[in-house]
Amino acid sequence: MRSTFTIACRGSWLSLAQAEIFKKKVAALFPGVALDIAIIETSGDKEQSKPLHLVEGRDFFTREIQDQLKQQRADFAVHSMKDVSSLDFFNEGHYAVIDRELLYDVAIFNKGVIDKIRNGEKIIIGTSSPRRSNMATGFLQKALPVLSDKPHVIEAQSIRGNVDTRLQKLHNGDYDGIILAAAGLNRLLKHPPAIEKVSGLLSDKKIMVLPLFECPPAAGQGAIVAETTHDNTDAIDILNAIKNEPLTNAIKEERVYAQRYGYGCSQQFGVFHLDTKAISFTYASGKDGNAAAFTEWDFEAMIDVENKTVFSCASYMKDFFAHDLIADAVIDTNAQAFFIASHKAVHNSTLQNSIQQKRVWAAGTKTWYELAKKGIWVEGCADGLGFENVQAVFKSPLINIAANEIQIITNTSSMQHWQQDGINAVGTYTLVANLSTEIKDKIAAADIIFWASFQQYELCKTLIKKDALHACASGKTASLLKKEGLNPIVFPTIKAFNDWYNKH
């Protein structure tokens, strides 16, 4: 094998950070190989006057780099996967998906946005993507804290430039907020040349990590792909050695939807594939080429409902328990962040004022919206996938919340389960059984039961048929049911079960 190779990539800090990740992957397996970087200016770099979705053509940030391969001026091209819109990318040449950061988009605001919200002033959001413009602005209408009786007025305006350039424009006051990929921010916060400037630009900002289901990312977002030509055998050997097969498979799942609904910066939908401990699934949502809204799930649910009686506890959430609020509940004031399992957990002004001074995360968007109505700034949520799902987000350089800095605020029953796992948790209300005879009879007759919480199962387990099948969403409910010796059929979320069941 040759000892020296050339990598072609763009000249932005982010592109160079991705090239360095590629170099480290290669060095770990081929310590004798030297890799030089050739910086290429692409058409996307040259044309900065228009929003990308108005620029004609495709592959604005990859075409010239790929040309270097074809002209044998470089051995490898390193790209952000979401920039590769070629329909036949996986069918041509040789490639390796080598790394993936967080999937999420992030809204970053100047602190002055609080006064604008309070005064009912227009909030200008900078984004170069119709997908982000449509989804994120709609989400922010419900997610920003309610600080007056005036509705939020949000307007999306085009922004161009590299990540650090966009952060500088925000810092200069050209926008009240901007939307970026969390992946790029995290990579820059680990890339030595960029750390000081990027961390400085972020230091006084307010952040919202946008939820995956309401604001799904572009296909391939957060992934790095490297490619070479079919006749560069030494380069092919290197790519085959560093290729990450699970990531490659995830990207392929996402690109199925990109092929169906379209690639490029003008698209108005997002898609992501997620592998959790309990289930793997793909989710796509947005608008197709005819501006028709769609939502699609792809996951395995091995349940035969034909001639079976199915009972979904998720359809009777209010019929299992009453809530006994603990007026003098005390939370851990030393905690730096709170994870709110239900908006019911923040039920008085003392609790509200206490958590308002800290960083707040929610179990899902329903809880997020209710907390926002109380005037609370929510930084992000677990998308209804469980507390475990956001651990990687907490550990990321952008968020940087240590495990011992978080307290979960929930009900007293759930509190005990969390504490048994060594997690700081407090109960601010108690669940009081409130089960009607009608619900008892339905559970006793059911062949298949979908549990929305483990507490529902605990309350009803003496009523259940011995051969009944159990189902639930991923997260704490699934893990607790498994501890009971059950083998529940796991769905991604409660909404995923509802969508699946309505089709069956």
DSSP label of 267 = -
- Which CB contacts under 8 angstroms, 24+ apart, belong to 147-153? 147/114, 147/117, 147/118, 147/375, 148/117, 148/118, 148/119, 148/120, 150/119, 150/120, 151/120, 152/117, 152/123, 153/120, 153/121, 153/122, 153/123
Query: What counts of helices (H) and strands (E) characterise the chain?
Result: 18, 23
**Matching fold, domains 105-209 and 321-433:** no
- Class in CATH terms, 105-209: alpha beta
Model pLDDT for residues 452-490, shown as the tens digit of each residue: 999 999 999 999 999 999 999 999 999 999 999 999 999
Euclidean distance between CA atoms 259 and 316, whole angstroms? 39
**Which string of DSSP letters, residue by residue, matches 453-465?**
-HHHHHHHGGGS-
DSSP label of 103 = -
Q: At what angle do helices 13-29 and 192-202 cross, to 10 degrees?
A: 140
pLDDT at 262: 78
Joined tokens for residue 108:
């970053």
pLDDT at 492: 96
pLDDT at 90: 66
Domain positions in the chain are 4-100+222-264+286-292, 105-209, 297-319+434-503, 321-433
Q: Which CATH number fits domain 321-433: 3.10.200.10, 3.40.50.10090, 2.60.40.10, 3.30.750.24?
A: 3.40.50.10090
Q: Report the predicted TM-score, pTM, of the whole model to 2 decimal places.
A: 0.93
CA atoms within 13 A on the CB side of 293: 3
Joined tokens for residue 15:
């592109």
- Do the Cβ atoms of 447 and 424 come closer than 8 Å? no
- Do the Cβ atoms of 49 and 190 come closer than 8 Å? no
Where would I find the beta strands (DSSP E) of 355-468? 359-362, 380-381, 406-411, 425-433, 448-451
At the fourth CATH level, the homologous superfamily of domain 4-100+222-264+286-292 is: Periplasmic binding protein-like II (3.40.190.10)
Q: Report residues of the chain scoring pLDDT below 50.
A: 53-57
pLDDT at 264: 64
Model pLDDT for residues 273-318, shown as the tens digit of each residue: 999 988 999 999 999 888 899 999 999 988 888 899 999 999 999 9
